[in-house]
């Protein structure tokens, strides 16, 4: 497939690497010519991880082009993955530039995390051709893609998007209703809020709370979601049995969960309590991605061996 | 070390397997004689996983004894890990039975998730010898142990507990203040609340929300906690830079996060929306534990190779 990737920051370059790895032809657009090197470096750096995950074409740079004009990127493309800065004006300007050059069947998948589909549609004439397809960082490794289309969306656009991301080995989840932050960012938000709340209350430092999550519930959430995990914990009656048994405890924890405001007090606490790791940020990202690959490899191997799957 | 494990349900038998695996002598007490087989089966079943994680003594059943009288379990034990049912009366009764037989230096670590240390202390004469040491299921694999002692706790009891669990390869985190649900269960609670809320709002089914978590943020939380992850996402200014950049978005997500009540409406929704997996519960537990072992192996290997650590 011919794919145009518009905007080549953290998200855009990761999509480029993945689309190439899955055998597609990719044209990336960014107004900043310096981004070209950033993308090609990333394609190279992510090659071995993607090959380990079974992407035979990872690193096939000859299928990649970089352009500084969005019209050149979209012409002949069947799919446009849009990752422009998260400002509505910028995205509308981009849409007005590319729309006259789009193939009649071309669809736009926006990676936006914060702009609604209705707001995006307002910048196009043919509003049925755009959906939200929000990835999770780093997109070349994390399987989740959150999809959203509304009543204006053309038939089969969502279904084709689902098939497309599945063909990439991704796990698309379709939202039935627009909500700020989709699913995953909202879940992240409540976790962070309670972490900040517990630290503000003096229960533990932010670093210790991080340690508790990554060595406790976080380990299990990489395998199953909370409902599935809880359904394993209460015998034959599954999730309903769990609610009967532990509902009152959860009710108590919910009622004492905290609300946090982003203000100078919060920033001061973060400055005091979050022990900046003495490791390099890039080393930590490498560590994160190497463990991610190990987990994904383990899941793929168990699936291929006919062991129980996670979904 | 001689360790007494009181109460031999899910938590107790998992502690037995782990303590044995780390080379200790273990006497387990349970009033129900049928539990003996449950423990010995579990010690056998968990042997290969624990050996893969480097526990040379896993499965050394000759260092294990089962008794049906709590006094026989605690005599000569330096450490008592208490996992009796979560009812204060039951625990107090048990304490009154064992206290006369405890060595003067023996300490009690309670695995309780829902009873406060003050409540536990009320059942002992020597109240400085008991602390909370709350594991996370399954305890033989999940590293987190939440520790709590108060002003009555004897000097060095918490410090020795920390050293003990670290010697087992665990990751102890000490709470500075008593709070219902400690840290990890509270974090689980807010995640589940928002998952139930989103499902109630019709954004996605409970099964799809599970899928989003286990294929999205959950994968990252098995590696780093939220503060560390966010600090990687905003360049050199770390977590403070992240707050400046994304604080307003989080504020918006927090303000629309939902409150859920455990009532018949919630139970009905769970019944409708949570697609019970057609796999066997025991198969899903095996899958969960096998992936857990893979993740822990990967973390150990990277630590031993001098790669960046997660803590």
pLDDT under 70: residue ranges of chain B: 276-277, 306-311
In a domain, B292, yes or no: no
Q: Which residues on adjacent β-strands are paired with residue A171?
A: A144
Nearest Cα of chain A lies from the Cα of B71 at a distance, in angstroms, of: 30
**Contact: A290, B307; criterion CB under 8 Å:** yes
Reported pTM? 0.95
B residues 57-86 closer than 8 Å to A (CB): none
- Which residue in A has a C-alpha nearest to residue B189's C-alpha? A250
**Residue A245 binned pLDDT confidence (cut-offs 50, 70, 90):** confident
In a domain, A219, yes or no: yes
Q: What is the domain count for chain B?
A: 2
- How does the average pLDDT of chain A come out, rounded? 94
Asked if the model's pLDDT at residue A10 lies above 50, the reply is: yes
Task: Give helix A264-273 / helix A206-214 axis angle, nearest 10°.
Answer: 70
Q: What is the pLDDT of residue A309?
A: 47
Domain assignment of residue B148, given as a range: 2-174
Q: Are residues A259 and A159 in the same domain?
A: no
Q: Are residues B165 and B195 in the same domain?
A: no
Q: What is the pLDDT of residue B304?
A: 76
**Contact: B183, A204; criterion CB under 8 Å:** yes
Q: Are residues A45 and A144 in the same domain?
A: yes
**Contact: A184, B248; criterion CB under 8 Å:** no
Q: Are residues B89 and B194 in the same domain?
A: no
In a domain, B294, yes or no: no
Q: What is the pLDDT of residue A89?
A: 97
Nearest Cα of chain B lies from the Cα of A150 at a distance, in angstroms, of: 12
**Contact: A308, B173; criterion CB under 8 Å:** no
In a domain, A281, yes or no: no
What does the pLDDT look like over A52-107, one tens digit per residue?
A: 999 999 999 999 999 999 999 999 999 999 999 999 999 999 999 999 999 999 99
The CATH number for B142's domain is 3.40.50.720
In a domain, B308, yes or no: no
Q: Are residues B12 and B147 in the same domain?
A: yes
Q: What is the pLDDT of residue A215?
A: 97
3-state secondary structure chain B: CEEEEECCCHHHHHHHHHHHHCCCEEEEECCCCCHHHHHHHHHHHCHHHHHHCCCCCCCCHHHEEEECCHHHHHCCCCEEEECCCCCHHHHHHHHHHHHHHCCCCCEEEECCCCCCHHHHHCCCCCHHHEEEEEECCCCCCCCEEEEECCCCCCCCHHHHHHHHHHHCCCEEEECCCCCCCCCHHHHHHHHHHHHHHHHHCCCCCHHHHHHHHHCCHHHHHCCCCHHHHHHCCCHHHHHHHHHHHHHHHHHHHHHCCCCCCCCHHHHHHHHHHCCCCCCCHHHHHHHHHHHHHHHHHHHHHHHHCCCCCCC
Chain B contact for A211 (CB, 8 A cutoff): yes
Residue ending a domain, choose from A147, A174, A201: A174
Q: Which of B224, B274, B294 sits opposite A210 (nearest CB)?
A: B224
Asked if the model's pLDDT at residue A307 lies above 50, the reply is: yes
3-state secondary structure B153-220: CCCCHHHHHHHHHHHCCCEEEECCCCCCCCCHHHHHHHHHHHHHHHHHCCCCCHHHHHHHHHCCHHHH
Q: What is the pLDDT of residue B309?
A: 47
Q: Are residues B201 and B163 in the same domain?
A: no
Q: How many CB pairs below 8 Å do chains A and B form together?
A: 405
What does the pLDDT look like over B275-294, one tens digit per residue?
A: 766 778 888 999 999 999 99
Cβ-based burial of A189 (10 A; exposed 0-12, middle 13-18, buried ≥19): buried
Q: What is the mean pLDDT of residues A179-188?
A: 96
Q: Are residues A35 and A141 in the same domain?
A: yes
- Which residue in A has a C-alpha nearest to residue B179's C-alpha? A203
The CATH number for A240's domain is 1.10.1040.10
**Chain B residue numbers touching A208 (CB-CB < 8 A):** 173-174, 183
Residue ending a domain, choose from B150, B174, B198: B174
Strand order from edge to edge, sheet including B144-148: B64-67, B25-29, B2-6, B79-82, B107-110, B130-135, B144-148, B171-174
Q: Are residues B98 and B144 in the same domain?
A: yes
**Contact: B284, A193; criterion CB under 8 Å:** no
**Contact: A283, B308; criterion CB under 8 Å:** yes
Q: What is the pLDDT of residue A280?
A: 85
In a domain, A158, yes or no: yes
Q: Are residues A245 and A122 in the same domain?
A: no
Q: What is the pLDDT of residue B297?
A: 93
**Chain B residue numbers touching A143 (CB-CB < 8 A):** 215-216, 219
In a domain, B303, yes or no: no
Q: Are residues A164 and A91 in the same domain?
A: yes
What does the pLDDT look like over A21-54, one tens digit per residue?
A: 999 999 999 999 999 999 999 999 999 999 999 9
Q: Are residues A214 and A75 in the same domain?
A: no
**Chain B residue numbers touching A38 (CB-CB < 8 A):** none
**Chain A residue numbers touching B216 (CB-CB < 8 A):** 136, 142-144, 183-184
In a domain, A309, yes or no: no
Q: Are residues B18 and B139 in the same domain?
A: yes
Residue ending a domain, choose from A156, A174, A192: A174
């Amino acid at each position: 497939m011919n794919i145009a990737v518009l905007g080549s920051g953290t998200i855009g370059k990761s999509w480029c690497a993945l689309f190439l790895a899955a055998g597609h032809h990719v044209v990336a657009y960014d107004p900043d010519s310096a981004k070209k090197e950033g993308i090609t470096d990333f394609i190279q750096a992510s090659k071995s991880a993607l090959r380990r995950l079974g992407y035979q074409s990872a690193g096939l740079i000859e299928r990649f082009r970089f352009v500084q004009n969005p019209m050149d990127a979209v012409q002949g493309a069947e799919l446009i993955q849009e990752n422009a800065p998260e400002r509505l004006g910028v995205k509308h300007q981009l849409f007005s530039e590319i729309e006259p050059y789009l193939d009649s069947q071309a669809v736009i998948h926006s990676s936006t995390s914060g702009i609604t589909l209705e707001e995006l549609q307002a910048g196009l004439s043919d509003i049925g051709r755009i959906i939200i397809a929000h990835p999770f960082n780093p997109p070349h490794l994390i399987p989740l893609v959150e999809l959203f289309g509304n009543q204006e969306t053309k038939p089969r656009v969502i279904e084709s998007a689902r098939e497309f991301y599945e063909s990439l080995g991704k796990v698309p989840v379709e939202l039935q209703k627009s909500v700020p932050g989709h699913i995953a960012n909202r879940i992240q938000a409540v976790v962070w809020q309670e972490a900040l709340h517990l630290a503000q209350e003096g229960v533990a430092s932010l670093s210790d709370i991080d340690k508790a999550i990554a060595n406790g519930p976080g380990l299990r959430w990489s395998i199953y979601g909370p409902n599935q995990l809880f359904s394993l914990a209460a015998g034959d009656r599954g999730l309903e049995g769990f609610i009967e048994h532990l509902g009152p405890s959860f009710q108590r924890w919910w009622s004492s969960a905290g609300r946090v405001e982003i203000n100078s007090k919060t920033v001061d606490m973060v400055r005091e309590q979050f022990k900046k790791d003495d490791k390099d940020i890039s080393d930590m990202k490498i560590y994160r991605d190497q463990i991610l690959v190990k987990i994904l490899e383990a899941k793929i191997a168990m699936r291929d061996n006919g062991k129980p799957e996670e979904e």
